[in-house]
């Protein structure tokens, strides 16, 4: 998609933010007529955008659907394409939930006279600017939702394809969509992984934690209430400890892609790593029938080149995302967690969903 980067904002400590591609899908109609059938009619809206920050309410994770008309908008610092879909919802024999849809959009048209097909986008801030667009009515979208939310089955996977010929002005390469499954009851199914994390229970020396705060570990049984205090809003973001094992470059500077278990999208210097934050999302904390406290949580690393207010609400799955499940050992003041990266959470979804005609 085209993007006009002339409106360049700065992040924390004056560092430049990087534009982020985002996708938001909302169901606008669901035929809930009570009768036996194998498929249900569904309508929806997919909003694709590139922006520095969330300025349009339709590209927020919890956004309402808004108007149901195809739309393309371009302005300095923000691009948005709204695609309107109709299709069916089905449930496969293995329990996977699938949306198969066909949509319409107004798409930007590439230039043919130069090396940059989007060179006209740099004029988006001019008065009276009208971007060249093409109507497209044959866009295919398949979204696949796992049967249940577990440590390793939590990915919503999608693909959007063009049915136009490759030489057509409306053609685009396949678009891959990945997000986390939300608003579903969590199923604790990773006992073997958790057992490995808890046996033996790691020891923590008071001097291993900054300022000796390990001496004041919480060891009561009300962990869920404590975690909930830090899982919403600004308090859920914590600063990561600097990585002391960065690799020196030829210029003498240090460069890192890893921060503990997190893998950054690109290499970062020591100063950028020091300004990286970690956010706790999608907390599930429950006490089972035996009185044991079980916990599931998502940790995300937020580098300084991402806008923090936008990053804490994203449902992205990448190397900067870590999924964890475990148990609370009150006597030791520790929650021992087994973990899975984004790739493991994506592999459990079946490869094929449906055929759109």
Domain stops at, among 150, 180, 210: 180
Per-residue model confidence (pLDDT) at position 241 = 64
Same domain? For 175 and 197 the reply is no
Question: Do residues 38 and 90 lie in contact, with contact meaning Cβ atoms separated by under 8 Å?
Answer: yes
**Tokens at residue 215, please?**
């001496």
The Cα-based distances of 303 to 23, 164, 277, 310, 339 in angstroms read 20, 38, 7, 12, 21
Query: Per residue in 170-215, pLDDT tens?
Result: 999 999 999 998 878 899 987 777 777 776 665 655 455 555 555 5
Q: Do residues 241 and 127 share a domain?
A: no
Which pLDDT score is estimated for 347?
44
Confirm whether 357 is domain-assigned.
Answer: no
pLDDT at 200: 66
The segments of the chain whose pLDDT lies below 70 read: 8-15, 36, 54-67, 199-221, 230-236, 240-255, 342-357
Q: Domain check: are 216 and 336 in the same one?
A: yes
How far apart CA 207 and CA 217 sit, in angstroms, is 13
pLDDT at 102 (0 to 100): 97
76 and 128 both lie in a single domain: yes
Give the domain-ending residue among 161, 180, 199: 180
Specify whether 56 is located in the same domain as 170: yes
If asked whether residues 152 and 293 sit together in one domain, one would say no
In sequence order, which ranges of the chain are alpha helices (DSSP H)?
A: 191-198, 223-229, 270-274, 308-311, 342-347
What is the Cα–Cα distance from 217 to 206, expressed in whole angstroms? 10
Structure tokens at 82: 């709204």
Within-domain flag for 5:
no
Are residue 272 and residue 298 in the same domain, yes or no?
A: yes
Domains in the chain, number: 2
Q: Is residue 7 part of a domain?
A: no
> Residue 296 and residue 267: Cα distance in Å, rounded?
29
Residue 118: give the domain boundaries: 12-180
Angle, CA 318 vertex, CA 284 and CA 264 arms, to 5°: 115
Let me know whether 164 and 228 are in one domain.
Answer: no
Residue closest to 334 by CA, chosen among 168, 153, 198: 198
Last residue of a domain, one of 158, 180, 202: 180
- Whether 262 is in a domain gets the answer yes
Same domain, 26 and 145: yes
Asked if residue 149 and residue 78 are part of one domain, the reply reads yes
pLDDT of residue 123: 86
In a domain, 142, yes or no: yes
């Amino acid at each position: 998609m085209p993007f006009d980067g002339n409106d360049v904002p700065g992040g924390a400590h004056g560092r430049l933010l990087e534009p982020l591609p985002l996708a938001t899908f909302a169901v606008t109609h669901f035929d809930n007529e009570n009768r036996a059938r194998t498929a249900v009619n569904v309508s929806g809206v997919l909003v694709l955008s590139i922006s520095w920050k969330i300025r349009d309410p339709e590209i927020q994770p919890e956004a309402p659907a808004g108007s149901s008309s195809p739309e393309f908008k371009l302005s300095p610092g923000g691009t948005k394409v709204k695609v309107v879909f109709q299709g069916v919802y089905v449930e496969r024999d293995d329990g996977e939930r699938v949306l198969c849809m066909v949509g319409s959009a107004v798409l930007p048209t590439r230039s043919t006279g130069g090396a940059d097909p989007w060179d006209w986008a740099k004029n988006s801030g001019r008065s009276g600017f009208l971007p060249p667009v093409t109507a497209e009515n044959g866009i295919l979208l398949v979204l696949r939702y796992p049967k249940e939310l577990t440590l390793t089955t939590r990915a919503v996977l999608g693909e959007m394809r063009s049915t136009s010929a490759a030489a057509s002005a409306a053609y685009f390469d396949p678009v891959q969509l990945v997000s986390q499954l939300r608003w579903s009851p969590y199923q604790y199914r990773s006992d073997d992984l958790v057992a490995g994390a808890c046996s033996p229970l790691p020891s923590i020396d008071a001097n291993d934690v900054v300022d000796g705060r390990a001496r004041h570990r919480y060891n009561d049984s009300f962990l869920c209430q404590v975690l909930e205090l830090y899982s919403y809003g600004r308090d859920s973001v914590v600063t990561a400890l600097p990585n002391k094992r960065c690799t020196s470059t030829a210029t003498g500077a240090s460069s890192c892609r890893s921060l503990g278990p997190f893998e950054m999208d690109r290499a970062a210097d020591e100063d950028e790593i020091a300004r990286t934050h970690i956010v706790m999302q999608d907390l599930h904390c429950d006490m089972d029938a035996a009185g044991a406290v079980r916990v599931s949580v998502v940790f995300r690393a937020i580098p300084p080149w991402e806008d923090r207010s936008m990053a804490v609400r994203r449902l992205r799955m990448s190397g900067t995302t870590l999924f964890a499940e475990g148990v609370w050992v009150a006597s030791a003041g520790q929650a021992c967690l087994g973990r899975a990266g984004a790739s493991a959470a994506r592999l459990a979804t079946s490869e094929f969903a449906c055929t759109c005609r």
